[in-house]
Amino acid sequence: MNLNKIKERQKQIIIIVVMLIFIISAMSLLNKRGSVIDISHTLPMVAFEEKDKLWQVVTYDDEPVTAMTIEVYPKYSEKFRKVYINYRSQFVFTDGSPITLNNEPLFWNRHGDIVDYDYNVIPEGMIFYIDGKGMKHRTAMTLKTLKTDLRSGVLKAKDKQREKQFNQMIEGR
């Protein structure tokens, strides 16, 4: 009888440990606002080895994507500047300075969404413009210098490996 009680107690402890692991894992995936982070939003759209190079963001019609900058001092001015992407899928201007919203840099994730550091999805029209008009939701964007390479499926080996790992996570392997 004692052996059965010990086995039963071990099963209960294992169940409790598994539940605690699940709860801790779920809590670690929460962002500041308390919503669950979709892991797929953390993957960058592209990753490049050339850290000093920038790639211009354009629409598939080859129209440049721009972002508005506002200067207040010494004289108020509004300018539309072309948008680029750096080696880690961060949106930047031609001088490498980050494009920000509420002082947070913006990134392009694997889903084609614009996200901030907390992986909040930002509507394109809040940030980007085409011909001075807010960009429409889900406007297809690409990179000017790599358009032909990206369309023919040329990816870095690290990107291919990351994509494979991501697909395995989704499939539950």
Q: Is pLDDT of 148 > 90?
A: no
The pLDDT value recorded for residue 43 is 65
List C-alpha distances in Å: 29 to 36, 83, 106, 156, 173: 6, 31, 20, 28, 19
53-97 pLDDT, tens per residue?
A: 888 999 988 899 999 998 888 889 889 999 999 888 899 998 889
The pLDDT value recorded for residue 63 is 92
Average model confidence (pLDDT) for the chain?
78
Task: Tell me the pTM.
Answer: 0.61
Kindly write down the DSSP assignment for every residue of 49-73, as one continuous string: S-TT--EEEEETT-PBPEEEEEE-S
